[in-house]
Amino acid sequence: MTASSFAPGLVVQGFVPPLRLADFKLIAFDMDSTLINIECIDEIADAVGRKAEVAAITEAAMRGEIADFKDSLRRRVALLAGAPADALQRVFDERLRLNAGAEALVRTCQAAGLKTLLVSGGFTFFTDRVRDRLALDFTRSNVLDVADGRLTGRLVDQPWGDICDGEEKKRMLLATCAQLGIAPAQAIAMGDGANDLPMMRAAGLSVAYQAKPKVREQAMVAINEGGLDRLLEVVHAA
């Protein structure tokens, strides 16, 4: 695809803007480092003094240097064993913030009639709270196992499978489109890491937000500066 700078810090590839939100019926977001400002697993690891070790694996996974996301997540979760469960609430209260423009973009999409989907390789503790804050329609993420008030270092299997990785994100995007009776071409997918690429490729419009190089290169829109609502410079509300 030929890339062009549509505006400073905003790169558009493969189509000529503008588009309209009315052309779409669903927008799907990754959570960590996309809709919110942190990688939650790295901040939980801080509670047991293992942030540097966990963050190094997270960075490699997001850059696409670790091919097996499920294995990388299991390794990181294992390093959380013994962390107090109340560390999750502290991370949410003290460290987690919506990224710039997140609320404005979500509200504008909702006003235009789009449904909203949050798909994350992170954890339900956080996705449930972000969902409730933004009134999102659908979520999919992972469940941390807790026993006696501490993380066990394991994940809980769910009815749909074991871990929400890149392929599960894509499956959830496609299943949501089917549930809504729309084509994948009517979906927007936003992410920052390599595990977001499967759903981004499946969607009609793929958006990289402050993303890793591999993701920026493959996205139709790359927001490299500013907030998530810069998407509205390409996909107009009216």
Q: Could you tell me where the DSSP H helices lie in 24-68? A: 40-46, 51-62
In angstroms, rounded to a whole number, what is the distance separating the alpha carbons of residues 9 and 184? 27
Token pair of 25, please? 């019926």
User: Catalytic pick from 32, 165, 196, 229?
Assistant: 32
- 32 assigned to active site: yes
* Per annotation, catalytic residue among 30, 165, 196, 229: 30
222: nearest Cα among 5, 1, 49: 5
Alpha-carbon distance of 226 to 209, in angstroms, equals 9
CA angle 36–39–41, rounded 5-degree value: 135
Our answer to whether residue 148 is catalytic in this structure is no
CA distance 8 to 62: 25
Catalytic residues: 30, 32
